[in-house]
Structure 1
Amino acid sequence: MPASLVISAPASGVGKTTLTLALARAWRKRGLNVQCFKSGPDYIDPAFHAAATGRASVNVDSWAMDRGTIAHLVSRGGNADVVLAEGSMGLFDGVAARGVSGTGATADIAEMLGWPVVLVIDPSGQAQTAAAIAAGLRDYRAGVRLGGVVLNRVASPRHEDLVRRALNEAGIKVFGALPRHAEISLPKRHLGLVQAEEQAEIGKLIDEAARFVAEHVDLDAVLHSAGQWSPQAAANGLNVTPPGQRIALARDAAFSFFYPHMLEAWRAAGAEIVPFSPLANEAPDASADVCWLPGGYPELHAAKLAANARFRSGLRVFAETRPVHGECGGYMVLGAGLTDADGISHEMAGLLGLETSFAKRRMHLGYRLAELAAPMPGHQPGARLRGHEFHYSTILAQPDTPLAVVHDATGAVIAETGSRRGHATGTFFHLIAEDR
């Protein structure tokens, strides 16, 4: 049975991803097969997990997914030696209203699967108070079991000693303490970490993180704290209908935000994926029966996308007879224009009238429940789609017919309804699952 752990923290930005990658690579170097998962709606971290382990990682999400779907997804860890689930935000952070099987909090996954939690604690600017925080997290929810703590960014041996003593007095195991180490810092941009595929030295960075963590953390003690997890047979698989039999999928640095479980589900259902690169001025394959543009960073590549006439004209020709769908950044590219951070407006595909601006930045973040008013590829009117929205672009114009009535996690109706015109549809949220 695999040893299983959840890596979490009191808040974002404490070092969960770095510790997860380091542990995964360190144990892999010992000859263990490691399977990672990501709790919550993050489409960037799974690629880092795959780089560290050599195994594909997928998201598990208690707000958007039912228990059967989660059981199906985590069952891939049944043949691993170690299973690591990286949390998002703080351990108990989720939305106010319960979704399908929880609020989206990492604690939901830890309790549902019975996996102990390793907390990453950054005691910067404090000492004994770090123990109070860890003890509070340990005791907050009875069904969540704390395995121990890894301290990150300790200032000095004296600082470490103060925090360790307090944690020991609270009955909390300390697996190790990491001093600051710039060489293992992962670069960031406005939507999170710079993607793994954009970092040529990512393998060396993970190796250095593994070496550093192995030097300062008792890996055997961490592994000993893990739960012995026996995967349960899932009653059902993923409730995902592919948008077509042969799918032209935009895939490059501008179109890379896509949940791995969705792509796997499409393939499992018999769909064929035909990737193409808009940044390389490629058009969707003419033999495909649907085109899908995922999110990504089109705002960083707006000038090049606008100049790539073959891509834009090929997309327009495709949309004359077959459906084209865009998510978030893909939706923006299907629109009439995109204004970049410098205030320069760039002409996009023009399949929809949407106009967006990255110069006028305002964060849009949160879970979304959309009730379709019209069909979109793979889904019929009336379908209830669960997804997540995260972008900084401002809508300047959204003149087309709304695609859906969209609610946030509290049930409030929001303005980002998506659009439809002819064969083109688009949404600002990234699809995670459909309600059964």
Structure 2
Amino acid sequence: MTEAVLPAAKRGAPSIVRGVVAAKLKVRHARERRFVFYGRAAIVIALSFLALLLGRIGLQGYSTFIDYRVSVPVYIDPARVDRADLGGANFDMLVAQSVMKRLNIPDDDLGENAGKVMEVLSNDMGFQLLGKVRADPTLIGKHVSVEGPLKADAALYFKGQIKRSTPEDSRKLDNAQLGWLDRLKAAGAIKGGFNLGFFTRSDSTEPEQAGVLGAVVGSTLMLIVTALLAVPIGVMAAVYLEEFAPKNRWTDLIEVNINNLAAVPSIVYGLLGLAVFINWLGVPRSSPLVGGLVLALMAMPTVIIATRSALKAVPPSIRDAALAIGASRTQSVFHHVLPLALPGVMTGAILSMAHALGETAPLLMIGMISFVPGVPGGVTQAATVLPVQVFIWENASERAFHERTAAAIIVLLVFMILMNLAAIILRRRFERRW
């Protein structure tokens, strides 16, 4: 039948179908473009919030890494320093009066000027002077050069966070003290530089002397305890459940509970550690040992889940081939399956350790919120950790502790980024594609 004798409706049918298909394709393509736009917008928004967070932390904390130190020669007056009782001498006053002499500040009867000078100089200078005289008593009667940090508020003035334009009654330092600081800076007695002390000192009640060394060592010891417990036990439990355990209602119940434990709020583990490890077993409170035990309980479900996923990713043909050549079930698992799953196992272990590093709530419950000025010498000594140090400093009243809070967060983020980077490198280095 030729096209000429076809009805008009039938001749127009193909064009109508093509029009409907084209309209539907147009709608579908529009939906795809909108989906791509929404996805890109979501990424931009997420990156914007991340940049805002990191930028805010960086702007608040970068000034911590700048240190202003004052250097002054101090005369050890024999009339005021008793060789037999060095601890009874006021070395802070000696330092203050040396600064006053350099600036030609009158020494009034009430000692108000000396007190105002000591408000801009760290107590560390007096302790340094005492240490030098104790080490060498022959320094009495001589001039001794001593260098130390400025008080936190004085350092904030040079960092631009305390301004002279602010009304005098609204800032801690008056105009006279700011003038003395300017004169010392002009004379070359005050110099700025990198704040190495922030990494070599532990916590202190004085902001200018506070550092993160004790918290870093405490976090390291705690993570070592956590890794030594959570990783071997978690990996062995995962290997048994995945490769050897019979599939029945009991193993199903265990698997469900492991998944549930991974979602339990971390503060519950803190309460468990307080009740079991401290009150019952008598583990020292606020020690890396009890902290590691609590975090090991918290990290173990994550290690088990990650290890089981890595074992499932190994093709069954590997197991079958090992069994076919005469290997036992144990040999096939530990000689072939587990080594091939090791990249995933290591990735899961490192990520669980990184998660444990950032935990605060369970550690607060076991007493790690206490003030610890020194560096822990072992896992049973009192210690603090980086997240708790951040919490303590943020709740301090002194303004200078807030910038140290942001700096401690930067140190913590660097640790976590390095751990996540190690997980990525290990996975890419050893990963095999099937």
Q: Same fold (TM over 0.5)?
A: no
Larger radius of gyration: 2
**What TM-score do the two structures reach when normalised by structure 1?**
0.19
Higher helix share: 2
**What TM-score do the two structures reach when normalised by structure 2?**
0.19
Structure scoring higher RCO (CA < 8 A, sep ≥ 6) equals 2
